[in-house]
Amino acid sequence: MENEFKYEDYKKTADWLLSRTKHQPEIAVICGSGLGALAERLNQPQAFDYSDIPNFPQSTVPGHAGRLVFGYLNDKCCVMMQGRFHSYEGYPLWKVAFPVRVFRLMNIHTLIVTNAAGGLNPDYEVGDVMLIRDHIFLAGLSGNNPLRGPNDERFGERFPPMSDAYDRVLRQDAHFIWKQMDQERPLQEGTYVMVGGPNFETIAECRFLQRLGADAVGMSTVPEVIVARHCGLRVFGFSLITNKSVLDYESREKANHEEVLLAGRLAAEKLEQLVCLLVESMQPPSKNTF
């Protein structure tokens, strides 16, 4: 489905938010399943329910609170989404990524995306954190893309490159910070593949995705990243490995959403620490791409 909104619709939402908060955020964070506690770290918080924000979709998934929270991490002004939107909720991809263009019009320069994902890489364990180095967008390869339809040059060019979607410098910074945190498990780095959901993958599908080169699989994130890069935002992303994908027909294991939320709660402290330290050290992009 092509985008029904015009530039003016995004601007209306951005102006509505900016007129109701004194915060001027420079960094946006999208919190995935079970990771919404990141927003509780914000100082001087101000929250808006999605239902009160003009044009905003509604989050319907357990573990997604459905609030936009402004505040400070140390001296950096941020806005965090406690809950995102998914195509399996019935939203077209352009609407899944709607908030990203709103962030762009609020003069945010960096987007941090987080998600819960299944581990396809046999070296990964539940509770591992994987920096997203690259992604595979199965829906996009078949023509379903959040940028589908007429292009508005005020947001970005018609054919945006994705070979540098996930910022290399921020990934390097995260590795340095992780070492300083002295964690038992290494900080992983790999390729995330997005599937449509809401069902978890079959064994055959997991084997197929693994052979494609994917290290982790989930049902979100990529539409927001594509739109963010299209409109010039710097992107950093990570996946929390909340379950190991079932690859053996003899296995009795089954993925479930409750397991995903539990893993998120158990890993919350190290994830919050990583994001806080990364944001604290973050400088604006050297080249303004807006």
Contact yes or no for 220/192 (Cβ under 8 A): no
Q: How much is the pTM?
A: 0.94
Strand runs labelled E in the chain: 27-31, 43-49, 67-73, 76-82, 110-119, 129-137, 188-194, 216-218, 234-244
Q: Is 219 a catalytic residue?
A: yes
From the list 106, 116, 117, 216, the catalytic residue is 116
Domains of the chain: 10-146+159-246+253-281 (3.40.50.1580)
What phi and psi values does residue 281 have, to the nearest 5 degrees?
-85, -5
Catalytic residue from among 3, 121, 243, 245? 243
Predicted confidence at residue 290, as pLDDT, reads 42
∠ at Cα 232 (166, 178), nearest 5°? 30
The CA–CA distances, whole Å, from 162 to 4, 20, 72, 148, 190 equal 24, 34, 30, 15, 16
Q: Tell me, yes or no, if 64 is annotated catalytic.
A: yes
Ramachandran bin of 284, using left for φ above 0, alpha for ψ from -120 to 50, beta for the remaining angles? beta
For residue 175, indicate whether it is catalytic: no
Q: Which of 89, 205, 259, 272 is catalytic?
A: 89
Q: Is 33 noted as a catalytic residue in this protein?
A: yes
How remote is the C-alpha of 182 from its chain's centroid?
Answer: 25
pLDDT for residue 237: 97
Q: How far from chain centre, in Å, is Cα 139?
A: 17
135 is catalytic: no
- φ and ψ at 287, to 5 degrees? -120, 120
User: 144, 257, 259, 272: which is the annotated catalytic residue?
Assistant: 257
Using alpha carbons, list the distances in angstroms from residue 128 to 92, 177, 178, 238. 31, 15, 12, 10
Residue with tokens 């379903």: 144
Q: What Rg value do the Cα atoms of the chain yield, rounded?
A: 18
Query: Catalytic: which of 88, 151, 205, 272?
Result: 88
86 belongs to the catalytic site: yes
> Which residues lie across from 31 on neighbouring strands?
82
Is 257 one of the catalytic residues? Answer: yes
Q: In the chain, count of helices (H) and strands (E)? A: 8, 9
Determine which helix (DSSP H) or strand (DSSP E) holds 209, and give its type and residue range. Answer: helix 203-212
CA–CA gap between residue 65 and residue 198 (Å, rounded): 18
**Phi and psi at residue 235, to the nearest 5°:** -125, 135
Given 33, 59, 115, 239, the catalytic residue:
33
- Nearest CA to 26 out of 198, 233, 229 is that of 233
Q: Catalytic one among 23, 86, 109, 135? A: 86
Walk along the chain (290 residues) in steps of 10 and give the mean pLDDT of each run: 90 98 97 82 96 91 82 94 93 96 98 95 94 97 95 97 97 97 95 96 96 97 98 96 88 78 78 92 72
DSSP codes of every residue in 135-204: EEEHHHHTT--TT-SS--TTT--SS---TT-S-HHHHHHHHHHHHHHT-SSPPEEEEEEE---SSPPPHH
Whether 88 is catalytic is: yes
Residue from 59, 87, 121, 220 carrying the catalytic annotation: 220
